[in-house]
Amino acid sequence: MREFTAEPLDIPSVTVAESPQWHENALWYCDIEAGGLLRFDPQDASLKRWTLDGALASIAPTDGGFIAGTSLGFEYLSLEDDRLKRELLHAPFTASPAAPMPGTRMNDGIADPSGRFWCGSMEPNSPQFGRLFCLDKGQIRVVRDGFRTLNGLAFSSDGRRLYVSDSHPSVAKVWTIALDADGMPLEKPQLFANLSEFGGRPDGATVDEHGGYWIAASDSGRVLRLDPKGRPDMVIHVPTTNPTNITFGGSDFRTAFITSLKPGGKGNEFAGRIFAVSLPVAGRKPDRYIA
């Protein structure tokens, strides 16, 4: 197995950093509980931050801004005169979008090659616990339910294979789902990997140019690359316990950027930081949501 070590970037930590996206030659990511949208420019090491009320869990680029999964549901975020504007598109949790159930919010989210936005929910007061939603040209549908903590969303380059995980300690598995051209499941989820066999729980993920699936193995201080049979063949060591997600960026998309969190608001000196490492394989540009 090939091994690499990621180094921390010289930017402040946050409590829960997630959903990294390489967009317009910069790294964008979320500070979930604090509702922060952050932009780091590696060229001049500048960091900018915008904050919205409530949680900001995931983002994907779209024309003029980002589609986002938040504590309200699905929102469109844009910047006007350097100020963050938000537009609520769908509030799936309650008939009253101003008062979603306590502890409920969207979580991991990603756009697919066809321009749809997929996002999972965390709904502790719901019998389904968590649902996988698909937002397709403004229309929303539930793809699956029954998740505890939905994570690990990623797509094959043709958009016909969906990866999804459940990072709850009682589950800790990754599945694949074959999709038709309209993004509808062709089969029940097929077990891809049981991360408890390798150590850690599955969190955020991405896919590289060769189809390798990179998954943040939370609690283990590692990011694993799984081959098409679900076996680890590369590993990135991160100097903190809980990496949360990974994306590729830079001029050649061979730099991996890794987010992390502070477990229980604590952790070591690197908890909640962003890390980077150069890899021998390139990632794919992030897909965009098409409204």
**Parallel, antiparallel, or unpaired for β 56-62 and 2-5?**
unpaired
Using an 8 Å Cβ cutoff, are 117 and 160 in contact? no
* Exposure string for 60-93, b = 16+ CB within 10 A, e = fewer: bbbeebbbbbbbbbbbbbeeeeeebebeebebbb
18 known member of a binding site: yes
Residue matched to tokens 């403004």:
138
Cα dihedral sign, 47-74-35-223: negative
284 DSSP assignment = P
Q: How far apart are CA 248 and CA 255, in angstroms?
A: 6
194 known member of a binding site: no
Q: Which two tokens stand for residue 209?
A: 């140019």
Q: Which of 31, 112, 203, 287 is catalytic?
A: 203
| Burial class (CB within 10 angstroms; exposed 0-12, middle 13-18, buried 19+) of 144 | buried
Q: Which two tokens stand for residue 176?
A: 């694949």
The reply to whether 203 belongs to the active site is yes
203 known member of a binding site: yes
Count CA within 13 A, CB hemisphere, residue 190.
Answer: 13
Q: Which two tokens stand for residue 52?
A: 């919205």
86 known member of a binding site: no
Closest CA to 237 of 196, 281, 266, 200: 200
Kindly list the catalytic residues.
203
Annotated binding site for substrate: 105, 107
Residues making up the binding site: 18, 105, 107, 151, 203
